[in-house]
Chains A and B, each alone.
Chain A
């Protein structure tokens, strides 16, 4: 149970980033190489590898080196489509409210 909680903890932290959620979304449609993953996000290979590492640590992604190419695919810890969606919703809700607070702060500043 503790281990399960830790897995969830890692998974949640891993999902708390739009690039990583994007990587999972992409891998949900089939395996891809590091370069293929990096391209749509417009980030460096090094940056992308770090994201993949976080996902790999959480068992959300697995990688396999074939020759000089590293292939990524979804890992054993598959949260499932609905759960991923709900986690995404939850994160979005939090960020919306954070940003609303910042907007109100700016607006108040203008009125002051």
Chain B
């Protein structure tokens, strides 16, 4: 059913970074807005089974955000601080799950205009090398394979490069 023109790939870059790339069939301003509009966040942020509430969202450099998700495995809160806000090109923020304080991810999203479509690249930089290595050894490669499978399905009828 998904008709989203998506490109998804994951690569380990640098020492403790995870990179994903996707192409969305929507203009860049709209895609960027989805990341910074508190009305839109609950419609996509979080897992499918979750209901997400925006508790705090001060989108400016140094501003804090806090989202709460409620799902089958309970209530979880996530928080962070915006580090760079450059519409519609780039957004950088920290990400921390309150259930595991001290493990901070720096998330950077860049938005590239492909003429009506938008390539979103997300980079997640883990706070310690140990954490990133944990990801690589516990499913990262499998996740990558699955992502490629999904990509193949999605592109089956498309002309994606």
Which of A's residues lie within 8 Å of B, judged by CB?
Answer: 8-9, 11-12, 15, 18-19, 21-22, 25, 40-41, 79-83, 85-87, 89-105, 107-108
Contact = CB atoms under 8 A, between A and B. Distances in A.
Contacts of A8: 137-139, 142
Contact of B49 (A18, A40, A104, A107): A18
B47 A87 contact: no
27 contacts: A8-B137, A9-B142, A11-B138, A22-B72, A80-B134, A83-B137, A85-B103, A86-B126, A87-B139, A89-B97, A90-B139, A90-B140, A94-B8, A94-B143, A95-B48, A96-B45, A98-B4, A100-B24, A100-B34, A103-B44, A104-B4, A104-B25, A104-B26, A104-B31, A105-B3, A105-B26, A108-B30
A12 B142 contact: yes
Contact of B2 (A25, A91, A102, A107): A102
Binding site secondary structure of chain B: mixed
